[in-house]
Structure 1
Protein backbone atom coordinates (compact mmCIF):
# COMPACT_ATOMS: atom_id res chain seq x y z
CA UNK A 1 0.00 0.00 0.00
CA UNK A 2 1.41 3.37 -0.97
CA UNK A 3 1.77 6.42 1.27
CA UNK A 4 -0.20 9.39 -0.16
CA UNK A 5 2.05 11.97 1.55
CA UNK A 6 5.20 10.35 0.13
CA UNK A 7 3.54 10.00 -3.29
CA UNK A 8 2.53 13.68 -3.36
CA UNK A 9 5.98 14.75 -2.18
CA UNK A 10 7.58 12.71 -4.99
CA UNK A 11 5.22 14.26 -7.56
CA UNK A 12 5.90 17.79 -6.27
CA UNK A 13 9.64 17.19 -6.45
CA UNK A 14 9.38 15.76 -9.96
CA UNK A 15 6.96 18.29 -11.47
CA UNK A 16 6.94 21.46 -9.37
CA UNK A 17 10.30 22.10 -7.71
CA UNK A 18 13.13 23.80 -9.63
CA UNK A 19 16.48 25.11 -8.42
CA UNK A 20 18.48 27.91 -9.98
CA UNK A 21 18.07 31.69 -9.78
CA UNK A 22 14.51 33.00 -9.84
CA UNK A 23 12.62 36.23 -9.18
CA UNK A 24 9.53 35.46 -7.10
CA UNK A 25 6.15 37.24 -7.18
CA UNK A 26 7.31 39.16 -4.09
CA UNK A 27 10.24 40.51 -6.14
CA UNK A 28 12.73 38.59 -3.99
CA UNK A 29 15.51 36.53 -5.57
CA UNK A 30 15.54 32.85 -4.67
CA UNK A 31 17.44 29.67 -5.42
CA UNK A 32 14.15 27.74 -5.35
CA UNK A 33 11.03 27.95 -7.50
CA UNK A 34 7.95 25.91 -6.66
CA UNK A 35 5.14 25.84 -9.25
CA UNK A 36 2.48 23.78 -7.48
CA UNK A 37 -0.01 24.35 -10.31
CA UNK A 38 1.75 21.71 -12.40
CA UNK A 39 1.18 19.12 -9.68
CA UNK A 40 -2.29 20.37 -8.67
CA UNK A 41 -3.48 20.22 -12.28
CA UNK A 42 -2.17 16.66 -12.71
CA UNK A 43 -5.05 14.20 -12.08
CA UNK A 44 -2.95 12.05 -9.75
CA UNK A 45 -1.63 15.12 -7.92
CA UNK A 46 -5.13 16.57 -7.60
CA UNK A 47 -6.39 13.30 -6.15
CA UNK A 48 -3.57 13.19 -3.59
CA UNK A 49 -4.02 16.88 -2.70
CA UNK A 50 -7.73 16.29 -2.20
CA UNK A 51 -7.19 13.31 0.12
CA UNK A 52 -4.38 14.87 2.16
CA UNK A 53 -5.91 18.34 2.20
CA UNK A 54 -9.30 17.07 3.31
CA UNK A 55 -7.70 14.93 6.04
CA UNK A 56 -5.81 17.98 7.38
CA UNK A 57 -8.87 20.23 7.13
CA UNK A 58 -11.20 17.68 8.71
CA UNK A 59 -8.77 17.15 11.61
CA UNK A 60 -8.69 20.93 12.32
CA UNK A 61 -12.48 21.20 11.99
CA UNK A 62 -12.97 18.28 14.37
CA UNK A 63 -10.39 19.42 16.94
CA UNK A 64 -11.83 22.92 17.14
CA UNK A 65 -15.48 22.01 16.52
CA UNK A 66 -15.67 24.40 13.56
CA UNK A 67 -18.50 24.84 11.08
CA UNK A 68 -16.98 25.59 7.67
CA UNK A 69 -19.11 26.52 4.68
CA UNK A 70 -16.66 26.81 1.81
CA UNK A 71 -13.06 26.78 0.67
CA UNK A 72 -11.19 28.96 -1.83
CA UNK A 73 -8.45 31.43 -2.47
CA UNK A 74 -6.70 33.63 -4.98
CA UNK A 75 -6.96 32.42 -8.55
CA UNK A 76 -5.08 30.56 -10.14
CA UNK A 77 -2.89 28.82 -7.58
CA UNK A 78 -5.67 28.05 -5.11
CA UNK A 79 -8.30 26.93 -7.63
CA UNK A 80 -7.30 23.28 -8.26
CA UNK A 81 -6.39 22.77 -4.59
CA UNK A 82 -9.72 24.14 -3.37
CA UNK A 83 -11.67 22.04 -5.86
CA UNK A 84 -9.70 18.88 -5.01
CA UNK A 85 -10.31 19.31 -1.28
CA UNK A 86 -13.97 20.18 -1.87
CA UNK A 87 -14.44 17.07 -4.02
CA UNK A 88 -12.72 14.85 -1.43
CA UNK A 89 -14.98 16.29 1.27
CA UNK A 90 -18.07 15.50 -0.81
CA UNK A 91 -16.93 11.92 -1.46
CA UNK A 92 -15.66 11.06 2.02
CA UNK A 93 -18.11 13.01 4.22
CA UNK A 94 -21.06 14.32 2.17
CA UNK A 95 -22.67 15.84 5.28
CA UNK A 96 -19.58 18.05 5.70
CA UNK A 97 -18.99 18.80 2.02
CA UNK A 98 -17.26 22.12 1.40
CA UNK A 99 -18.47 24.42 -1.34
CA UNK A 100 -15.76 25.98 -3.51
CA UNK A 101 -15.11 29.57 -4.58
CA UNK A 102 -12.32 31.57 -6.19
CA UNK A 103 -11.04 35.09 -5.54
CA UNK A 104 -10.21 37.21 -8.57
CA UNK A 105 -7.12 39.41 -8.45
CA UNK A 106 -9.35 42.39 -9.31
CA UNK A 107 -13.14 42.84 -9.36
CA UNK A 108 -14.78 41.78 -12.61
CA UNK A 109 -15.04 44.73 -15.00
CA UNK A 110 -18.54 43.85 -16.19
CA UNK A 111 -21.74 42.16 -15.04
CA UNK A 112 -22.09 42.34 -11.26
CA UNK A 113 -18.45 43.36 -10.78
CA UNK A 114 -17.77 40.50 -8.38
CA UNK A 115 -14.34 39.71 -7.03
CA UNK A 116 -15.37 36.36 -5.51
CA UNK A 117 -16.87 33.80 -7.88
CA UNK A 118 -18.50 30.49 -7.12
CA UNK A 119 -20.09 29.21 -3.96
CA UNK A 120 -19.51 32.01 -1.47
CA UNK A 121 -21.96 34.21 0.42
CA UNK A 122 -21.80 36.97 3.01
CA UNK A 123 -21.69 35.51 6.52
CA UNK A 124 -19.93 32.27 5.63
CA UNK A 125 -17.02 30.83 7.57
CA UNK A 126 -14.38 29.73 5.09
CA UNK A 127 -10.94 28.23 4.62
CA UNK A 128 -8.57 30.34 2.53
CA UNK A 129 -6.21 28.36 0.29
CA UNK A 130 -2.87 29.07 -1.35
CA UNK A 131 -0.48 26.85 -3.25
CA UNK A 132 2.80 28.33 -1.99
CA UNK A 133 3.44 30.98 0.64
CA UNK A 134 6.61 33.04 0.73
CA UNK A 135 5.75 36.45 2.20
CA UNK A 136 2.04 35.61 2.61
CA UNK A 137 1.04 38.55 0.42
CA UNK A 138 -1.38 36.79 -1.93
CA UNK A 139 -3.00 34.86 0.92
CA UNK A 140 -3.46 38.10 2.88
CA UNK A 141 -4.93 39.78 -0.21
CA UNK A 142 -7.45 36.91 -0.49
CA UNK A 143 -8.26 37.24 3.24
CA UNK A 144 -8.86 41.00 2.76
CA UNK A 145 -11.27 40.38 -0.13
CA UNK A 146 -13.13 37.60 1.73
CA UNK A 147 -13.52 39.75 4.84
CA UNK A 148 -14.59 42.80 2.81
CA UNK A 149 -17.29 40.62 1.19
CA UNK A 150 -18.57 39.51 4.62
CA UNK A 151 -16.78 36.19 5.06
CA UNK A 152 -14.95 34.98 8.15
CA UNK A 153 -11.68 33.12 7.55
CA UNK A 154 -11.28 30.25 10.05
CA UNK A 155 -7.81 29.20 8.88
CA UNK A 156 -5.55 28.86 5.85
CA UNK A 157 -4.60 25.67 4.02
CA UNK A 158 -1.32 25.88 2.11
CA UNK A 159 0.29 23.21 -0.02
CA UNK A 160 3.90 24.43 0.53
CA UNK A 161 5.23 26.93 3.08
CA UNK A 162 8.60 28.21 1.85
CA UNK A 163 9.46 29.13 5.47
CA UNK A 164 10.31 32.73 4.56
CA UNK A 165 7.95 34.61 6.89
CA UNK A 166 4.63 34.08 5.13
CA UNK A 167 3.14 31.85 7.81
CA UNK A 168 3.99 34.40 10.50
CA UNK A 169 2.50 37.29 8.47
CA UNK A 170 -0.77 35.38 7.94
CA UNK A 171 -0.95 34.25 11.56
CA UNK A 172 -0.35 37.86 12.71
CA UNK A 173 -3.66 38.59 10.95
CA UNK A 174 -5.28 36.07 13.31
CA UNK A 175 -5.54 33.31 10.68
CA UNK A 176 -3.87 30.01 11.66
CA UNK A 177 -2.00 28.21 8.86
CA UNK A 178 -1.96 24.50 8.06
CA UNK A 179 0.64 23.49 5.48
CA UNK A 180 0.89 20.06 3.90
CA UNK A 181 4.62 20.60 3.30
CA UNK A 182 7.28 23.13 4.23
CA UNK A 183 10.54 23.81 2.46
CA UNK A 184 12.21 21.61 5.10
CA UNK A 185 9.86 18.65 4.78
CA UNK A 186 9.74 18.86 0.99
CA UNK A 187 13.48 19.18 0.40
CA UNK A 188 14.60 17.73 3.77
Structure 2
Protein backbone atom coordinates (compact mmCIF):
# COMPACT_ATOMS: atom_id res chain seq x y z
CA UNK A 1 0.00 0.00 0.00
CA UNK A 2 1.15 3.57 -0.64
CA UNK A 3 2.75 5.38 2.26
CA UNK A 4 0.36 8.17 3.21
CA UNK A 5 3.09 10.79 3.72
CA UNK A 6 4.64 10.14 0.29
CA UNK A 7 1.22 10.05 -1.34
CA UNK A 8 0.07 13.31 0.25
CA UNK A 9 3.35 15.03 -0.57
CA UNK A 10 3.06 13.88 -4.19
CA UNK A 11 -0.55 15.04 -4.36
CA UNK A 12 0.43 18.54 -3.23
CA UNK A 13 3.26 18.66 -5.76
CA UNK A 14 1.05 17.47 -8.63
CA UNK A 15 -1.73 19.88 -7.71
CA UNK A 16 0.59 22.89 -7.56
CA UNK A 17 2.85 22.07 -10.52
CA UNK A 18 1.28 19.60 -12.98
CA UNK A 19 -2.29 20.86 -13.38
CA UNK A 20 -3.28 23.84 -15.47
CA UNK A 21 -6.92 24.70 -15.00
CA UNK A 22 -7.78 26.18 -18.40
CA UNK A 23 -9.45 24.97 -21.61
CA UNK A 24 -7.21 22.70 -23.74
CA UNK A 25 -7.44 20.26 -26.62
CA UNK A 26 -6.07 16.85 -25.64
CA UNK A 27 -4.12 14.46 -27.89
CA UNK A 28 -7.36 12.49 -28.33
CA UNK A 29 -8.89 15.61 -29.92
CA UNK A 30 -11.31 16.06 -27.01
CA UNK A 31 -11.51 19.37 -25.18
CA UNK A 32 -11.01 19.60 -21.45
CA UNK A 33 -11.20 22.30 -18.79
CA UNK A 34 -7.77 21.31 -17.48
CA UNK A 35 -4.39 20.06 -18.64
CA UNK A 36 -2.17 17.65 -16.75
CA UNK A 37 1.57 17.49 -17.44
CA UNK A 38 3.04 14.87 -15.13
CA UNK A 39 6.55 15.49 -16.43
CA UNK A 40 6.61 18.77 -14.50
CA UNK A 41 6.70 16.61 -11.37
CA UNK A 42 8.33 13.38 -12.58
CA UNK A 43 11.31 15.44 -13.79
CA UNK A 44 11.53 17.25 -10.44
CA UNK A 45 13.94 15.46 -8.06
CA UNK A 46 11.48 15.44 -5.14
CA UNK A 47 8.62 14.37 -7.40
CA UNK A 48 10.70 11.61 -9.00
CA UNK A 49 11.68 10.33 -5.55
CA UNK A 50 8.07 10.27 -4.33
CA UNK A 51 6.76 8.63 -7.51
CA UNK A 52 9.44 5.94 -7.44
CA UNK A 53 8.77 5.04 -3.81
CA UNK A 54 5.02 4.89 -4.34
CA UNK A 55 5.34 2.69 -7.42
CA UNK A 56 7.80 0.39 -5.65
CA UNK A 57 5.21 0.04 -2.88
CA UNK A 58 2.60 -0.81 -5.52
CA UNK A 59 4.67 -3.54 -7.21
CA UNK A 60 6.69 -5.07 -4.37
CA UNK A 61 4.37 -8.09 -3.94
CA UNK A 62 3.59 -8.68 -7.64
CA UNK A 63 6.66 -10.75 -8.61
CA UNK A 64 7.44 -8.29 -11.39
CA UNK A 65 10.38 -8.80 -13.76
CA UNK A 66 10.33 -5.42 -15.53
CA UNK A 67 8.69 -2.00 -15.49
CA UNK A 68 8.39 0.40 -18.41
CA UNK A 69 6.12 2.33 -20.67
CA UNK A 70 5.68 4.40 -23.78
CA UNK A 71 8.01 7.33 -24.33
CA UNK A 72 7.59 10.32 -23.18
CA UNK A 73 5.25 10.09 -20.21
CA UNK A 74 6.92 6.97 -18.86
CA UNK A 75 10.55 7.99 -19.42
CA UNK A 76 11.17 10.01 -16.24
CA UNK A 77 9.10 7.59 -14.15
CA UNK A 78 11.13 4.62 -15.37
CA UNK A 79 14.39 6.51 -14.82
CA UNK A 80 13.42 7.38 -11.25
CA UNK A 81 12.45 3.79 -10.45
CA UNK A 82 15.91 2.35 -11.09
CA UNK A 83 17.85 3.62 -8.06
CA UNK A 84 14.89 3.30 -5.68
CA UNK A 85 14.09 -0.27 -6.78
CA UNK A 86 17.76 -1.18 -6.40
CA UNK A 87 17.94 0.44 -2.96
CA UNK A 88 14.85 -1.51 -1.87
CA UNK A 89 16.12 -4.84 -3.21
CA UNK A 90 13.60 -5.16 -6.03
CA UNK A 91 15.19 -7.20 -8.81
CA UNK A 92 13.56 -5.60 -11.84
CA UNK A 93 14.74 -4.38 -15.20
CA UNK A 94 13.44 -1.26 -16.89
CA UNK A 95 12.35 -0.54 -20.44
CA UNK A 96 11.02 2.19 -22.68
CA UNK A 97 8.68 1.55 -25.61
CA UNK A 98 9.18 3.71 -28.69
CA UNK A 99 6.06 4.87 -30.52
CA UNK A 100 7.38 2.89 -33.48
CA UNK A 101 10.40 0.69 -34.06
CA UNK A 102 13.64 2.45 -34.99
CA UNK A 103 14.24 2.54 -38.73
CA UNK A 104 18.00 2.08 -38.29
CA UNK A 105 20.47 0.20 -36.11
CA UNK A 106 18.80 -2.63 -34.22
CA UNK A 107 15.31 -1.55 -35.35
CA UNK A 108 13.94 -2.12 -31.85
CA UNK A 109 10.72 -0.78 -30.48
CA UNK A 110 11.52 -1.70 -26.88
CA UNK A 111 14.71 -0.23 -25.40
CA UNK A 112 16.57 -1.50 -22.35
CA UNK A 113 17.71 -4.93 -21.22
CA UNK A 114 15.99 -7.45 -23.53
CA UNK A 115 12.61 -8.62 -22.33
CA UNK A 116 11.88 -12.33 -22.67
CA UNK A 117 8.65 -14.21 -23.31
CA UNK A 118 6.94 -15.10 -20.06
CA UNK A 119 8.29 -12.18 -18.07
CA UNK A 120 5.86 -10.32 -15.82
CA UNK A 121 5.82 -6.59 -16.56
CA UNK A 122 4.15 -3.47 -15.27
CA UNK A 123 3.40 -0.62 -17.69
CA UNK A 124 3.59 2.92 -16.28
CA UNK A 125 2.49 6.31 -17.56
CA UNK A 126 1.91 9.76 -16.13
CA UNK A 127 -1.76 9.97 -17.12
CA UNK A 128 -4.55 7.80 -18.50
CA UNK A 129 -7.21 9.51 -20.59
CA UNK A 130 -8.28 7.21 -23.43
CA UNK A 131 -5.54 4.71 -22.56
CA UNK A 132 -3.83 5.06 -25.94
CA UNK A 133 -0.23 5.34 -24.68
CA UNK A 134 -0.61 2.46 -22.25
CA UNK A 135 -2.30 0.35 -24.94
CA UNK A 136 0.66 0.85 -27.31
CA UNK A 137 3.09 -0.23 -24.59
CA UNK A 138 0.92 -3.21 -23.60
CA UNK A 139 0.66 -4.36 -27.22
CA UNK A 140 4.44 -4.05 -27.71
CA UNK A 141 5.34 -6.17 -24.67
CA UNK A 142 2.58 -8.69 -25.33
CA UNK A 143 3.89 -9.08 -28.89
CA UNK A 144 7.12 -10.54 -27.49
CA UNK A 145 5.25 -12.81 -25.07
CA UNK A 146 5.38 -10.85 -21.82
CA UNK A 147 2.51 -10.91 -19.33
CA UNK A 148 1.25 -7.49 -18.28
CA UNK A 149 0.61 -7.71 -14.55
CA UNK A 150 -0.93 -4.24 -14.36
CA UNK A 151 -0.71 -0.67 -15.55
CA UNK A 152 0.06 2.16 -13.13
CA UNK A 153 -0.62 5.84 -13.80
CA UNK A 154 0.03 8.91 -11.71
CA UNK A 155 -3.43 10.25 -12.61
CA UNK A 156 -6.50 8.66 -14.18
CA UNK A 157 -8.54 11.39 -15.86
CA UNK A 158 -11.57 9.06 -15.56
CA UNK A 159 -12.46 9.45 -19.23
CA UNK A 160 -12.76 5.79 -20.23
CA UNK A 161 -9.13 4.72 -20.58
CA UNK A 162 -9.17 2.52 -17.50
CA UNK A 163 -12.28 0.71 -18.71
CA UNK A 164 -10.73 0.19 -22.16
CA UNK A 165 -7.58 -1.28 -20.61
CA UNK A 166 -9.56 -3.50 -18.26
CA UNK A 167 -11.50 -4.72 -21.29
CA UNK A 168 -8.13 -5.85 -22.68
CA UNK A 169 -7.44 -7.78 -19.49
CA UNK A 170 -5.10 -5.17 -17.99
CA UNK A 171 -5.62 -4.33 -14.32
CA UNK A 172 -5.17 -0.57 -13.77
CA UNK A 173 -4.02 1.08 -10.56
CA UNK A 174 -3.73 4.84 -10.46
CA UNK A 175 -2.08 6.73 -7.65
CA UNK A 176 -4.71 9.44 -8.08
CA UNK A 177 -7.83 10.17 -10.08
CA UNK A 178 -8.97 13.52 -11.43
CA UNK A 179 -11.62 13.51 -8.69
CA UNK A 180 -8.86 13.57 -6.04
CA UNK A 181 -8.03 17.04 -7.35
CA UNK A 182 -11.64 18.23 -7.54
CA UNK A 183 -11.77 17.84 -11.33
TM-score bin, normalised by smaller chain:
over 0.9
Question: Please, which runs of 5 or more residues in structure 2 have no aligned partner?
Answer: none
Alignment length, in residue pairs?
A: 179
Structure 1 stretches of 4+ with a deviation exceeding 3 A read: none
Q: 2:142 aligns with which of 147, 150, 156?
A: 147
Q: 1:120 aligns with which of 111, 114, 117?
A: 114
CA displacement, residues 59-105 of structure 1 (integer Å, 9 cap, x when unaligned): xxx2xxx421110000010111122233322111x2x3221100001
CA displacement, residues 82-136 of structure 1 (integer Å, 9 cap, x when unaligned): 22233322111x2x32211000011001011000000231212110111100011
* Distance in 2 separating the partners of 1:23 and 1:80: 24
In the alignment, does 2:8 pair up with 1:6? yes
- Matches for 1:2-151 after TM superposition, within 5 Å: 3-58=5-60, 62=61, 66-92=62-88, 94=89, 96-123=90-117, 124-151=119-146
Q: 2:162 aligns with which of 164, 167, 175?
A: 167
Distance change (3 Å), C-alpha of 1:187 and 1:91: farther
Q: CA deviation at 1:148?
A: 1.1
* Distance in 2 separating the partners of 1:119 and 1:187: 40
Give RMSD over aligned pairs: 1.4
In the alignment, does 2:177 pair up with 1:182? yes
Question: Please, which runs of 5 or more residues in structure 1 have no aligned partner?
Answer: none
Q: CA deviation at 1:4?
A: 1.4
Per residue, is there more helix in 1 or in 2?
Answer: 1
Q: Tell whether the 8 Å contact from 1:71 to 1:86 is kept in structure 2 after alignment.
A: no
> TM (normalized to structure 1)?
0.90
Distance change (3 Å), C-alpha of 1:120 and 1:178: farther
Q: CA deviation at 1:167?
A: 0.6
